Amino acid sequence: MIHEVIVTTMSKSGEVHIAPMGIRFLEKKVVISPFRPSQTLDNILESNIATVNFVDDVRVFAGIVSRYKRDWELSKHNELDVVPNLIIANTVYNLIVSDFEDDEKRPNIVCDVKKSTILKPFLGFNRAQFSVIEAAVLISRLGMIPMEKIDKEIEYLKIGIDKTSGPHEKEAWKWIQKKILDYKKFNMSPFVVRLSLGQQTWVFRKMYQDYKIGVDIKFAELDKFMFICFLF
């Protein structure tokens, strides 16, 4: 079984990184499998510690994945071997790495639970919370799966929002919807031109308002960018 949680990790400089992630239990151990490359993986390899936050406030998932709210209040710890947890977490597991199974895409990091703390009770399952979690997974796949599939699943998930959501779920759903609309506006407009050279991609979008060319450059070098603009 995969549990959707928030994993907090810390860099050598003390900066805390917050990431939604699925974890598994292996008997009494916790298995985290972050993708390469990722800040979560880098931080755990550097520190050998992490904190798992079990959270029923789904705004955290939607806010981080959509990038519309990425800063969440953290606990204050004096211990150097403990990563701060989310203040709004229900339950917190402080982990220490016990084994590492390398993989070129998703290594498995096996951890012992050093300490578990219940901060507040879990009040039961809610359909709207499920809808937000599933929608957050969908928007993390924008550009990787067909837009028609995403639209269809979002339409179905909205039923749970309409019937059972509270203020937190409604706010999270607004971030989900905005992320999808922003993606469509920039990536699915008939005035978008994509040009790829090898593994590098440049996206050009004509702006009606001032007839300039808006550019989102990924992995671009200046000389190649100038060359592409000339071709365009």
The secondary structure of 115-138, three-state, reads: EEEECCCCCCCCHHHHHHHHHHHH
Range 2-118 has CATH code 2.30.110.10: yes
Neighbours of 17 (CB within 10 A): 18
Is 88 in a helix, a strand, or coil?
A: coil
Question: Residue 191's pLDDT is what?
Answer: 54
Q: Which pLDDT belongs to residue 77? A: 79
The DSSP 8-state label assigned to residue 209 in this structure reads: T
pLDDT attached to residue 219: 42
Percent of the chain as helix, strand, coil, to the nearest 5? 35, 30, 35
CA dihedral of residues 74, 35, 2, 11 (deg, nearest 10) = -20
Closest CA to 88 of 128, 124, 51, 55: 55
Averages of pLDDT over runs of 10 residues in the chain (232 residues) are 97 95 96 97 97 98 97 89 97 98 97 97 96 98 96 98 98 98 84 52 46 42 43 41
Predicted pLDDT at 188: 75
Give all strands (DSSP E) within the chain, no chain letters.
Answer: 2-10, 16-26, 29-32, 49-54, 91-101, 108-118, 192-197, 200-206, 213-217
**Confidence at residue 79, expressed as pLDDT on a 0 to 100 scale:** 81
